[in-house]
């Protein structure tokens, strides 16, 4: 749905990659379409830790000196990122904890 050929016979690389992902990983029963369970596994994989991924994202985006630790200054510098994060309960944890 996201790609229209418009007379072009060569597919962009991202279309080829998505097609491979579909065939190899998403269409588990190989029927050419995604059923409810396949879609659920794609959107909410059971082996994916959302909290850990969000924490890693916050550290990656905020850790300016790349030492693997966040200082108060680094958190304040990226305050908008933390306030918009589910990991901080959308900023509520920042006011409930003295360490923040």
DSSP 50-67: HHHHHHHHHHHHH-TT-S
Q: Where are the domains of the chain?
A: 13-43, 50-91
Fill in the DSSP letter of residue 73.
H
Whole-prediction pTM: 0.46
Mean pLDDT along residues 72-100: 74
Sequence-ordered list of residues with C-beta below 8 angstroms from that of 41, at least 6 positions apart, any chain: 26, 28
pLDDT at 15: 87
61 φ/ψ angles, rounded to the nearest 5 degrees: -75, -25
Confidence (pLDDT) at 95: 63
Average pLDDT score, the chain: 83
């Amino acid at each position: 749905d996201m790609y229209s050929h418009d007379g072009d016979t060569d597919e962009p690389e991202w279309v080829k990659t998505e097609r491979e992902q579909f065939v190899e990983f998403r269409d588990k029963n190989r029927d050419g379409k995604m059923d409810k369970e396949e879609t659920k596994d794609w959107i909410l994989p059971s082996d994916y830790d959302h909290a850990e991924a969000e924490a890693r994202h916050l550290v990656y985006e905020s850790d300016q000196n790349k030492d693997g630790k966040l200082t108060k200054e680094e958190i304040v510098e990226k305050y908008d990122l933390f306030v918009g994060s589910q990991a901080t309960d959308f900023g509520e944890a920042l006011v409930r904890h003295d360490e923040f």
